[in-house]
Each structure stands twice: as C-alpha cells, then as structure tokens.
A and B are shown apart, each in its own frame.
Chain A
Amino acid sequence: METIIFYILAALTIIFSVASVTSRKILRAVIYLLFVLICISGIYFLVNYNFLAAIQLTVYGGGIIVLFIFAVMLIHHVELELEKTALKKKLIAGLLSAAGLAVTLWAIYTFPFQETNTYTSIEVADIGRILLSYEDGGFILPFEVISVLLVAVMIGAIVIAKGKKLTENN
C-alpha cells in the first residue's frame, strides 16, 4: 500500500515539477509548484516526519506560494504568456542537466548504503529539545542565528519594498 502511494507521489512530483519549469503561463507555473510542494509533504508523511510535513504545508504551501502569487499579480497580467525559450538554450540546458543527473545517479547507485530496518518516528518534543539544547550536538547557536537572520530579512524586505518613499522622507 505504502509502495503504491510512494510511486503515485513520485510520479506526480516529477510531472508537476516539469510542468512548473516549462509552463508558459506564469500563474499556472506557480500552481504546479504548489502541487509539487504538497506531494513532497506527502513523502514526509510517509516517512513519519509529521512535524516537517506540517511545516512544509504551512510555510511552503501557505506562505511562499502566496508570496509568489502576490508578486505575479502585482507584476504581470494573469493571462500573460512568457516568451518562448530558444531551442538551442533548451537543448544545452537539457543536455547539461541530463549529464549531471547521470553522474549523480551513477554515484548513488554505486555507493553501498547501509540501510537499517528499524521503524522510528520523530516526536515534536525531541526536535524542540535538540533545538534548545546547549550540550554536545545541540542546535542552540544555529537556532539563535536563524532567528536573527529572520528578523534581519523581515526588516530588509520592508525597507526594500518600501522603495523611495521611505528614503526620501528622512
């Protein structure tokens, strides 16, 4: 059962991600990206990382996609079609990505992974404990750094998006 669900999710992920990078209508591309993100949160659910799946759905599906749609609505007409990419560019990019994919897959399939068969799930309490732990293997410093980064990004985004109005007044 889980095998079938995984293959369905994998097929949908690949189909929608290809559609997302090739669609010429920009709003449709954003919606295809939303489907890709939802399928990936389904994979997180399959491996029992419920907290990450919820984060993926809220931050990506809820936040980032809304930001993208917001930007598209502000900048383009909804029905606007993007320019066609030149065939030569497509060919070169496709060849380069196919070559990279081949090298990566060769590296993956020749590496002997030592799979374990224990079935675990991660509790939210464990993630919270390791994020705030200052002992060995704790993540308190990166946690603080990322909170400072988020504040800086928030202020920076406001200042940049405000544009001239803010800088002319002072």
Chain B
Amino acid sequence: MIAGISIYEILTLTSVLFFIGIYGFFTRDNLITVLMAVELILNAAAVNFVIINTYLYPDLIQGAVYSIFIIALAAAETALAIAIIINLYRIIYSVEVKDTETMKY
C-alpha cells in the first residue's frame, strides 16, 4: 500500500480513467483511436485488481495474477485488432467506423 493514500483515492483515479476511456469509445470515429480507448478501460481494470489485492488482502497474490492475465489478453486483442484494421484498409481504403458496413461481401 502507499503511505498516506487510502483505497478510495486510488479507486477514484481508476474510475475516472475508466470513464475517460468510455467517453473516448463513444466519441471517436477512427478504429485505431477506439482501440486506444479500449486500452485505457482495460488498464483501469487491471489497476483495480492490483489495488484491491494490496489494500484489502495483502497476504494473497491472486489480484496480481489476474492483472497479468488482463495484460496478456490486452496484448492479444490489440495485435489481432490491428491485423484486422490493416487488412480492412487494404480492402476499403478507410478505417473510419462509418465506412465499415459489411462483414465480408
């Protein structure tokens, strides 16, 4: 735990980060920037796992393990999504959300 900082302040920080991510997810029109907003959301969740583990259950380490899984999933998701976006750009020459209308044909 951090000396002089209560769990409420850190949870406030992660909630603000999470909802900034939600705001970006709603307002952005470009697929890459939408993906960046998703990264912010995932990061806030990972910090929450670690903070709740270290403040409430300091003798367990499950929270850290879950954070590692979240980071691995985020890396996998980003790699796959960027591959899809690059392929999409080859086909329709655009990465705007409004231009991606059909699934395959």
Chain A positions within 8 Å of B, measured between CB atoms, are 2-3, 6, 10, 13-14, 17-18, 20-22, 26, 29-30, 33, 36-37, 40, 43-44, 46-49, 51-52, 55-56, 59-60, 63-64, 67-68, 70-72, 74-75, 82-83, 85, 89-90, 92-94, 96-98, 100-101, 104-105, 108-109, 113-120, 122, 126-127, 130-131, 137, 139, 142, 146, 149-150, 153-154, 156-158, 160-161, 163
Prevailing SS type, chain A contact patch? helix
Q: Are B36 and A146 in contact (CB under 8 A)?
A: no
In addition to A64-B75, A72-B32, A154-B79, 8 A-B residue pairs with Cβ atoms within 8 Å of each other are A17-B21, A40-B43, A47-B1, A49-B54, A60-B43, A63-B75, A70-B82, A119-B1
How far, in Å, is B82 (CB) from chain A's closest CB?
5
Contact B2 A47, beta carbon cutoff 8 Å: yes
Q: Is the CB of A120 within 8 A of B58?
A: yes
Cα distance A126–B58 when bound, in Å? Answer: 13
Which residues of B are interface residues toward A (Cβ below 8 A)?
1-13, 15-24, 26-30, 32-33, 35-37, 39-40, 43, 47, 50-51, 54-59, 61-62, 64-65, 67-69, 71-76, 78-80, 82-87, 89-90, 95
What are 27 sample pairs from A and B whose C-beta atoms fall under 8 A apart?
A3-B4, A20-B36, A21-B20, A21-B21, A30-B36, A33-B40, A47-B54, A49-B54, A52-B68, A56-B71, A59-B72, A60-B39, A82-B33, A85-B27, A90-B27, A101-B16, A104-B15, A113-B56, A118-B58, A119-B1, A120-B54, A127-B68, A146-B72, A149-B72, A153-B76, A157-B80, A163-B90
**Least distance between B60 CB and chain A CB atoms (Å):** 8
Chain A residues within 8 Å of B90, by CB: 163
B contacts with A: majority SS: helix
Least CB distance from A51 to B in Å reads 7
**A76: min CB distance to chain B, Å:** 8
A102 to chain B minimum Cβ distance, whole angstroms, is 9
